[in-house]
Amino acid sequence: DPKQGNILSFFKRV
Amino acid sequence: MLELRLVQGSLLKKVLESVKDLVNDANFDCSATGFSLQAMDSSHVALVALLLRSEGFEHYRCDRNLSMGMNLNNMAKMLKCAGNDDIVTIKADDGGDTVTFMFESPTQDKIADFEMKLMDIDSEHLGIPEAEFQAIVRMPSAEFARICKDLSSIGDTVVISVTKEGVKFSTRGDIGTANIVCRQNTTVDKPEDATVIEMQEPVSLTFALRYMNSFTKATPLSNQVTISLSSELPVVVEYKVAEMGYIRFYLAPKLEE
């Protein structure tokens, strides 16, 4: 099954 | 000192109803640009970004940038007490620990104020890069909500695929499979009934339906929803908030390991 991605791996903290 | 007067107070009620189940606590940021919020759900799978531009308020006073931490469920409880036709004013003092919501009936014969305690929230602001999307689908928001609801009775995930044939929403579960294809349709009487598909190249992504269904709580805000897709990037599900801004939901895709 595909694994749920995480927002923090796409958008970085500023 | 902050004082924001929103004639169409129902917009704020609808905004809160659309985010209160996704995000528990969030900072509302107030600046010359407008009233905004950016927050993730507790598992960091989805992010919501709200902007209500200052020009959309009848009166907008924000002497200095202010960040107000609020429990969204409690804020929703207070805004539920405003009538749908009420004018809503948000008031706060610099450095204060409360925010006041004032509700005025259209005929000015009833004025209520609700004071809510603010909370300290570690603010975590994420930079969202400008993306070139492979496909952008604009469709009636009620149709999108119906599709998400229907598919979630069959499966837990939705595969959204855009090809030159249209946009396909697919799921599979223990009882079987389901596919719903929506084709571009611009020959409609009302523009809000149109489905418009702008495709640069075909794209297919998998998402958790639970989150999609949560996003559709914003349906009362807008007749149309925009779904922007790019391979291996979070989908953006956007609802316009009247002429004054937007609420955007970002959802991380499910990816093959």
Per-residue tens of pLDDT for chain B, all 257 residues: 999 999 999 999 999 999 999 999 999 999 999 999 999 999 999 999 999 999 999 999 999 999 999 999 999 999 999 999 999 999 999 989 999 999 999 999 999 999 999 999 987 899 999 989 999 999 999 999 999 999 999 999 999 999 999 999 999 999 999 999 999 999 999 999 999 999 999 999 999 999 999 999 999 999 999 999 999 899 999 999 999 999 999 999 999 87
Name every residue whose Cβ is closer than 8 Å to that of residue B133 and which is 6 or more positions away in sequence.
B200, B228, B229, B230, B236
B contact residues 55-114, partner A, Cβ 8 Å cutoff: none
Q: How far is the first Cα of chain A from the last one, in angstroms, to the nearest whole number?
A: 32
Q: What is the pLDDT of residue B145?
A: 98
Chain A residues interacting with chain B (CB cutoff of 8 angstroms): 1-14
B128 touches chain A (CB under 8 A): yes
Cα of A11 to nearest chain B Cα, Å: 6
- Pick from B42, B45, B236 the residue to mutate for testing the A interface (most A CBs within 10 Å): B45
pLDDT attached to residue B54: 98
**CB atoms inside a 10 Å sphere around CB A12:** 10
Compare CB distances from A11 to B126, B255, B257 and report the shortest one's residue.
B126
Nearest to B234 among A10, A12, A14 (CB): A10
- R_g (Cα) of chain B, nearest Å: 19
Q: What is the pLDDT of residue B98?
A: 98
pLDDT value of residue A4: 97
Residue B7 exposed, middle or buried by CB count within 10 Å (0-12, 13-18, 19+): middle
Residue of chain B whose Cα is closest to the Cα of A1: B256
Which residues does chain A have within 8 Å of residue B234's beta carbon, measured at their own beta carbons?
A: 5, 7, 10-11
User: What is the SS3 assignment for B106?
Assistant: coil
Burial class (CB in 10 A: 0-12, 13-18, 19+), B188: exposed
The complex scores an ipTM of: 0.97
The pLDDT of residue B122 is 87
